Amino acid sequence: MSKQPSAATVTDDGARPGGGSDKGLRRAGWRASPGVLVPVLLVLLLVTVCAAVAVGSVGVPFRTVVMVIGERLLGIESTASAMDEQIVWNLRLPRVLLAAVVGAGLAAVGVTLQATVRNPLADPYVLGVSAGAGLLASVTIAFGSFAVAGLSTSAAAFVGALLATTVVLALSRRAGRVVPNRLVLAGVTLSYLFSGATSFVIFRSGNADAAHSVLFWLLGSLSESSWSNLLLPAVAVLAAGLYLTVQTRSLNALAAGDDAALSLGVAVHRTRIQLLVVASLLTGVLVAVSGGIGFVGLIVPHLVRLVIGPDHRRLLPIAMLVGAIYLVAVDVLCRVVVRPEELPIGIVTALLGAPVFLWLLRRSEAS
């Protein structure tokens, strides 16, 4: 019978010696250095953002994109036309930056939940937060804001996320403590319940255009992005990222098991509640501005863990950068694959993420 690892058997990166998802890389004697990866990923993110801004129904040269951004941010003189400036600064850059923010946030939530509930299948939607947000957003779109006390779609989605979080945490408690397995089961059950209610809302809307809008929102979209709705998610991701960075030692301990975490001096119950609340609030903010985007928080942490190991001090920042780059690239695909129409972003993340996850499953069975 397997035993929980004790404090003596837990390394400083929160993993058992010789184990973990990066076992194959350890045997090969190689692991990527965060000191190299972080600067490389930052440069790659900047290049990806500029390239994504350049791509669209009206192409803008990469050099022009750099000039416009340089003029706006640094006051560097630009020779770009007024039309190019409008396209770059007001139309595409807010959308691309929102994709980066949402991707980074979803990856951070995925890393947090996988450690907190000790479940490799945990992602930002395992708690039913996305389904709760989708239900109230669907009601708003289908029946109007009067049906949710005058709230906008984004505000209704955030309220739905908060309500879902409250119910899931209440159902997962036993003897005054949150039990990870009950948390996952409650989240999955409520996700089905909220999804069924959302389907009923679509059925009863009686408006084909409203039903189409609900489905498009549920599958994820960044088409309504602007500078005005970029600030809140950017601040939320930054604040949550800083908080989670401070909590990386606790994440390592929780990933090793409750007994090991207690031995290391971590207040397991209080810390788990705090991390779950932060993850749920961040998910609510992201879902409110982007709709339902799956697989980012599930796949990105696993892929990054293969390269740099399970230590959350390295895993968290690198996963956030990879998540940002990934979602920016996916959003470009959504805009160009069926041009001039636009694919919901959740379709592409699912088509790309499912095969990768199956590959990860086969790899874990073989190792």
pLDDT digits (tens, 9 = 90+) for 264-292: 899 999 999 999 999 988 998 999 899 88
10 in a structural domain: no
Shared domain check, 103 and 78: no
Range of lowest pLDDT (160-164, 235-239, 323-327): 160-164
- Decide: 135 and 197 in contact? Cβ < 8 Å: yes
Cα separation, 357 vs 367, whole angstroms: 15
The answer, yes or no, to whether residue 230 has pLDDT greater than 90, is yes
- The candidate with the shortest Cα–Cα distance to 143, out of 218, 223, 200, is 200
Is position 26 within any domain? no
Please give the Cα distance from 205 to 273 (Å, whole number): 37
* Statement to judge: residues 152 and 57 lie in one domain: no
- In the prediction, which pLDDT does 113 show? 93
Q: According to the model, what pLDDT value does residue 80 have?
A: 85
| Percent of the chain predicted with pLDDT > 70 | 90
Same domain assignment for residues 218 and 157 = yes
pLDDT of 310 > 80? The answer is yes
Report the C-alpha gap between 143 and 147 in whole angstroms: 6
Backbone phi, psi, residue 178, to 5° = -80, 125
Q: Which amino acid is at 101?
A: V
- Mark whether 57 and 182 lie in a shared domain: no
Q: Is the pLDDT of residue 29 over 60?
A: no
pLDDT value of position 115: 94
Do 115 and 62 share a domain, yes or no?
A: no
For residues 298-320, average pLDDT? 93
CA distance 241 to 249: 14
What confidence tens digit (pLDDT) does each residue in 147-200 have? Answer: 888 888 889 999 998 899 899 989 988 877 888 889 889 999 999 999 999 999
Q: Work out the average pLDDT over 302-324.
A: 94
- Residue 126, domain extent: 93-366
User: Which of the pair, 236 or 57, is modelled with greater confidence?
Assistant: 236
Domain boundary residue among 68, 85, 102?
Answer: 85
Give a yes or no: residue 5 inside a domain: no
Amino acid letter, 347: I
| 222-249: average pLDDT | 94
The pLDDT value given to residue 127: 82
* Residues 6 or more apart whose Cβ sits within 8 Å of residue 15: 255, 256, 309, 310, 311
Give the model's pLDDT for residue 4.
43
pLDDT of 110: 94
Q: Considering only CA atoms, which of 117, 67, 115 is closest in space to residue 89?
A: 67
Q: What is the pLDDT of residue 207?
A: 80
And the tokens for 72? 């706006």
Query: Do the domain assignments include residue 151?
Result: yes
On whether both 137 and 221 belong to a single domain, the answer is yes
What CATH number does the domain containing 112 carry?
A: 1.10.3470.10
Residue 59 in this model has a pLDDT that exceeds 90: no
DSSP class of 7: G
pTM of the model: 0.87
Assigned token pair, 86: 């409008």
Same domain, 238 and 258: yes
* CA max distance for the chain: 70
Nearest to 345 by CA among 231, 226, 224, 241: 224
> Does residue 333 carry a pLDDT above 90?
yes
74 in the same domain as 152: no
Q: Is residue 306 part of a domain?
A: yes
**Which residue would you say has higher pLDDT here, 2 or 273?**
273
How confident is the prediction for the chain on average, in pLDDT?
Answer: 86
Are 175 and 221 contained in the same domain? yes
Same-domain status, 230 and 266: yes
| Residue-level pLDDT at 367 | 61
Residue 216 lies in a domain: yes
Note whether residue 145 is domain-resident: yes
Considering the domain architecture, whether residues 79 and 172 belong to the same structural domain is answered as no
Neighbour count for residue 367 (Cβ, 10 Å): 11
- Better pLDDT: 224 or 42: 42
CA distances from 114 to 124, 153, 269 (A): 9, 29, 16
Q: At what angle do helices 93-116 and 248-256 cross, to 10 degrees?
A: 40
Residue 253 lies in a domain: yes
Provide the 8-state DSSP code for 125. T
Comparing 2 with 78, the larger pLDDT belongs to 78
Q: pLDDT tens digits, residue range 69-93?
A: 999 988 888 888 889 999 999 999 9
**DSSP output for 206-262:** --HHHHHHHHHHHT---TT--STTTHHHHHHHHHHHHHHHHTHHHHHHHHH-HHHHH
For residue 39, give the amino acid letter: P
Domain total of the chain: 2
Q: Are residues 118 and 251 in the same domain?
A: yes
